[in-house]
Amino acid sequence: MQQNTITEQMTQAGQKIEHDSFAIVDQEVGKHDYTDAQWNIVRRMIHATADFEFNGLVQFHPNAVSAGLQAISQGANIVADVEMICVGLSKPRLGHFGVKTHHFISDTDVITAAKAVNSTRAVQAMRKAQQLSLLDSGIVAVGNAPTALLEVVRMIQEEGVRPALIVGMPVGFVSAAESKEEVALLHEIPWIITQGRKGGSTLVVAAIHALLALAEQAQK
């Protein structure tokens, strides 16, 4: 496995543990239908959760990996539905590419707008991101709020919003699976999703970290 200097563990001991973990996943996973680049993403997601069901649950738009790598190499904005994603992403790894993260779920104006029209904060947060011109050519990262994902789909269909990539993995029982099914119907916008109820911010972070590692390899 090619070793990266920016997007991997900072110590040799940490790197060995991470690489050994990946090797165990490779040994135990069995068959899969992913490309090498896609498998790098899925493997890191399995590594983050110890859940082999993501072999098959993770689905990719045909252009997802290439679109994600291009966006990262160009220093794209990442717009997350919750702060947890922004906190989980490594600042040195993001900084290497000039990538910045944004979340608005707790902003006072977002909360006020949500109350005024009886919508969710997640919907209003994505609308604010669009007003700030952060969605076009950016990476949308959703791990918690299905309504955020559904709002992005609506804006794509009705307002012509064009993110570079959607990483859509909300977890839960109300609209989580359905929101990802809507994303999977998009043809012009690349996406990475988890099918069904499973998801979460941890998975989104793992997927983006994998993309960052692939982008560093591409630089070499």
Positions marked catalytic:
47
Nearest to 85 by CA among 36, 48, 130: 48
Q: HEC profile for 9-56?
A: CCCHHHHHHHHHHHHHHHHHCCCCCCCHHHHHHHHHHHHHHCCCCHHH
CA distance 129 to 121: 12
CA distance 79 to 100: 9
Nearest to 180 by CA among 189, 171, 188: 171
Beta carbons of 100 and 78 less than 8 angstroms apart = yes
For residue 25, what are its two tokens?
């996943």
